[in-house]
C-alpha cells in the first residue's frame, strides 16, 4: 500500500568536498533552476585548509572524514545529501551514518540515468589521470558492459570554467568521437565542474548529455519521493549496517569534530 504523505517538502544538502567556495554560487544557481518548488537547497564546501580539487587520490583520502562527519551531523535535518564529486568520494562511508537520509553522488546517479536513456554511454573526463578510478566505479556499479569509452579533454577541475568556449569545443570534439567511433548512445560529463555545456552539446551531437550536477540532485529528489510515498529508505542490514550508537558515544567518534553552523541551519 502506498503511503499518503502530505509532507512534500524536501531538504537537500549539497556538499562540494573541496576547500574552496569557487563552485558554491554556480551550483546553487543551477540547482535552483531545476528544483521542485517544495525543495529547499543548502550548498556548502569544506574549510579552506582542505584541497581545492580532488584530482589525486591522496587528496580524496583527506576529505572522506569531513564528508562522513558532515553527513552524520546533518542527516537528521535533511532528506538527502549529495556529494559533489564524480569520484563519488566517501559515498559508501557516508551512507553508513546517514540514518533515513538518502546519500547520492554523481557517477552512480549519472550512470543509472544513462542506462535508461540508451544502451551504451561514454564519460567525458578532464584528465587521463581520472580514468582508472572512474572506470573502477562504473564497473563496481555494474555498468561495464554499457561503457563505450572514457575520453579525456585535457582540462583540470579549475580549467573548465576558465574559458567556456574552449571547454565546450573540446567536449563537443571528444563527444563526437565517442558517438561516432566508440558507439556511445549517451554522453556523461564526468566532473561536477563541467557544468553549463550539456544543452549545447545535445543540440550539436543529437544524443542525451548528462550533467554531473543535475543528475545526482534530480535523482535525490526522486529517491526522497520514493521514501516519502512508498517508504523505500536506506537499508540498515548486512553490509549497510551502521556503526553502533554505543560505540560512537563511548569513543566520542564525532564529539570533537566541529561542524560549521551554517550546514545545520536550514530554512
The pLDDT tens digits for 200-243 are: 999 999 999 999 999 999 999 999 999 999 999 999 999 999 99
The total of other beta-carbon atoms located within 10 Å of residue 262's CB is 9
Domain ranges, residue 218: 10-105+214-264
Tell me the per-residue pLDDT of 40-88, one tens digit each, with 9 for 90 and over. Answer: 999 999 999 999 999 999 999 999 999 999 999 999 999 999 999 999 9
**Separation of alpha carbons 194 and 198, rounded Å:** 9
Largest CA distance in the chain: 58
pLDDT digits (tens, 9 = 90+) for 109-120: 999 999 999 999
When pLDDT is cut at 50, 70 and 90, the band that residue 257 belongs to is low
Count of domains for the chain: 2
Judging by beta carbons within 10 Å of its beta carbon (0-12, 13-18, 19+), is residue 122 exposed, middle or buried?
buried
Read off the CATH number of the domain in which 93 is found. Answer: 3.40.50.12500
pTM (2 decimals)? 0.94
Instruction: Judge if 27 and 100 occupy the same domain.
Output: yes
Indicate whether 92 and 130 sit together in one domain. Answer: no
One domain for residues 125 and 98: no
User: Across all residues in the chain, what is the average pLDDT?
Assistant: 95
Same domain for 98 and 221, yes or no, is: yes
- Same domain for 220 and 101, yes or no, is yes
**Phi, psi angle pair for 78, to nearest 5°:** -125, 155
Does the structure show a pLDDT above 60 at 36?
Answer: yes
Amino acid at each position: 500500500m502506498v503511503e499518503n504523505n502530505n509532507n512534500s517538502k524536501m531538504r537537500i544538502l549539497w556538499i562540494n568536498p573541496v576547500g574552496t567556495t569557487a563552485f558554491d554560487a554556480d551550483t546553487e544557481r543551477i540547482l535552483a533552476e531545476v528544483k521542485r518548488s517544495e525543495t529547499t537547497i543548502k550548498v556548502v564546501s569544506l574549510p579552506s585548509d582542505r584541497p581545492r580539487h580532488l584530482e589525486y587520490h591522496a587528496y580524496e583520502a583527506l576529505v572522506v572524514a569531513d564528508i562522513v562527519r558532515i553527513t552524520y551531523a546533518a542527516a537528521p535535518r535533511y532528506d538527502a545529501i549529495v556529494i559533489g564529486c564524480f569520484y563519488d568520494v566517501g559515498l559508501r562511508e557516508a551512507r553508513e551514518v546517514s540514518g533515513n537520509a538518502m546519500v547520492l553522488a554523481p557517477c552512480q546517479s549519472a550512470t543509472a540515468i544513462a542506462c535508461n536513456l540508451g544502451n551504451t554511454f561514454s564519460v567525458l573526463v578532464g584528465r587521463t589521470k581520472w580514468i582508472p578510478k572512474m572506470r573502477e566505479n562504473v564497473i563496481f556499479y555494474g555498468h561495464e558492459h554499457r561503457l563505450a569509452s572514457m575520453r579525456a579533454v585535457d582540462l583540470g577541475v579549475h580549467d573548465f570554467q576558465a574559458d567556456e568556449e574552449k571547454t565546450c569545443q573540446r567536449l563537443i570534439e571528444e563527444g563526437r568521437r565517442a558517438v561516432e567511433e566508440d558507439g556511445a548512445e549517451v554522453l556523461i560529463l564526468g566532473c561536477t565542474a563541467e557544468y553549463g555545456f550539456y544543452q549545447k552539446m545535445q543540440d550539436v551531437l543529437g544524443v542525451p548529455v548528462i550533467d554531473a550536477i543535475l543528475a545526482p540532485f534530480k535523482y535525490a529528489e526522486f529517491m526522497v519521493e520514493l521514501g516519502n510515498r512508498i517508504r523505500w529508505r536506506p537499508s540498515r542490514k548486512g553490509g549497510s549496517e551502521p556503526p553502533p550508537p554505543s560505540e560512537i558515544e563511548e569513543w566520542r567518534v564525532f564529539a570533537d569534530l566541529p561542524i560549521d553552523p551554517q550546514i545545520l541551519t536550514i530554512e
